[in-house]
């Protein structure tokens, strides 16, 4: 049904196409916790395709994983005490996985643990052949922390694809969220980093379709 718009005093019919419902690939809803690994040597076999989620502690990484898989508590596994410094693997299907990387940025963490985290992340990014890309989750109110830059630099150096989510976008007004998006994009451009940045909210479910499109591509679903 066309709606009516007013242009310079004239009444014209404007056709507004219905909002296209994008169906989520149902496979994401079936993602299951697989196992945790303290090092990459004890991780599941390095075959198939893996996408890793990284982010500062409390940035909203677990909530993002839960929203993207439309599951309430999938990523809670990685919050279990003792598992926070581990690589937590989730099975998508027999050849595809998500990995929840240890959260970083706790000021309280002893130096030795930080050093271990550095070593593990660097090895993971350099050596993991199945790694198809990193989704780096940042709280939109505190983007591009020192730790985020470290991840970005590692991705650049190891030629790993990167998607940045500015999450908790619902915490800002639309205009402020757009401005942060633009300024983050500008800052990355100035550092000659070419990467997609996406507004996201696990609460409002903003950005999910766009991120699924990237994940579908990285996971090569079209090739099946
Ligand atoms: P993680 O440590 O990075 O896994 O962070 P969590 O996913 O546990 O989120 C940290 C806090 O931020 C929790 O209190 C979440 O409820 C909250 N949170 C996460 N995502 C969002 C979001 O999109 N919007 C809002 N308003 N709060 C969020």
> What percent of the chain shows pLDDT beyond 70?
85
| Cα 157-194-84 angle, rounded to 5 deg | 60
Q: Which two tokens stand for residue 102?
A: 């240890």
CA distance 150 to 31: 29
At residue 224, the pLDDT reads 77
C-alpha span between 124 and 137 (Å, rounded) = 18
Residue 54: Cβ-neighbour burial (10 angstroms; 0-12, 13-18, 19+) = buried
pLDDT value of position 97? 98
**What global pTM score does this model have?**
0.89
On the question of pLDDT at 52 being above 70, the answer is yes
Q: How far is the CA of 38 from the centre of ligand 1 (A)?
A: 24
> Token pair for residue 167?
């999450």
Q: Which of the four CATH numbers 2.40.160.20, 3.60.21.10, 3.40.50.150, 3.40.50.300 does domain 3-223 have?
A: 3.40.50.300
Q: Does 57 contact ligand 1 (Cβ within 6 A)?
A: yes
> From the CB of 167, is ligand 1 less than 6 Å away?
yes
Cβ neighbour number for residue 3 with a 10 Å cutoff: 8
Nearest CA to 66 among 97, 31, 35? 31
pLDDT at position 77 over 60: no
Stretch among 7-11, 91-95, 106-110 having the lowest mean pLDDT: 7-11
Whether 164 contacts 195, CB under 8 Å = yes
* Calpha distance 100→78 (Å, rounded): 7
- Cα atoms in the Cβ-side hemisphere of radius 13 Å centred on 149: 9
Scan for tokens 């930080």, then name that residue. 114
Rounded Cα gap, residues 103 and 61, in angstroms:
8
Nearest C-alpha to atom 20 of ligand 1 is from which residue?
Answer: 60
Ligand 1 and 126: CB distance under 6 A: no
Question: What is the distance between the alpha carbons of residues 64 and 66, in angstroms, rounded to a whole number?
Answer: 5
């Amino acid at each position: 049904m066309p709606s009516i718009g007013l242009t310079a005093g004239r009444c014209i019919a404007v056709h507004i196409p219905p909002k296209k419902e994008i169906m989520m690939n149902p496979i994401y809803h079936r993602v299951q916790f697989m196992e945790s690994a303290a090092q990459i040597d004890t991780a599941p076999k390095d075959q198939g395709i893996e996408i890793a989620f990284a982010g500062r502690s409390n940035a909203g990484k677990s909530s993002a994983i839960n929203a993207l898989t439309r599951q309430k508590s999938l990523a809670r596994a990685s919050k279990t005490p003792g598992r926070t410094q581990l690589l937590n693997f989730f099975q998508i299907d027999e050849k595809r996985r998500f990995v929840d990387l240890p959260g970083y940025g706790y000021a309280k963490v002893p130096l030795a643990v930080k050093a271990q985290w550095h070593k593990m992340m660097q090895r993971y990014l350099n050596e993991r052949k199945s790694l198809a890309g990193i989704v780096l989750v940042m709280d939109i109110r505190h983007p591009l922390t020192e730790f985020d830059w470290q991840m970005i630099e590692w991705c650049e150096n190891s030629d790993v694809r990167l998607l940045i989510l500015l999450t908790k976008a619902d915490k800002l007004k639309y205009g402020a969220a757009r401005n942060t998006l633009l300024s983050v994009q500008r800052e990355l451009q100035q550092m000659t980093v070419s990467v997609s940045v996406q507004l996201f909210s696990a609460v409002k479910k903003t950005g999910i379709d766009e991120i699924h499109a990237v994940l579908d591509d990285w996971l090569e679903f079209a090739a099946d």
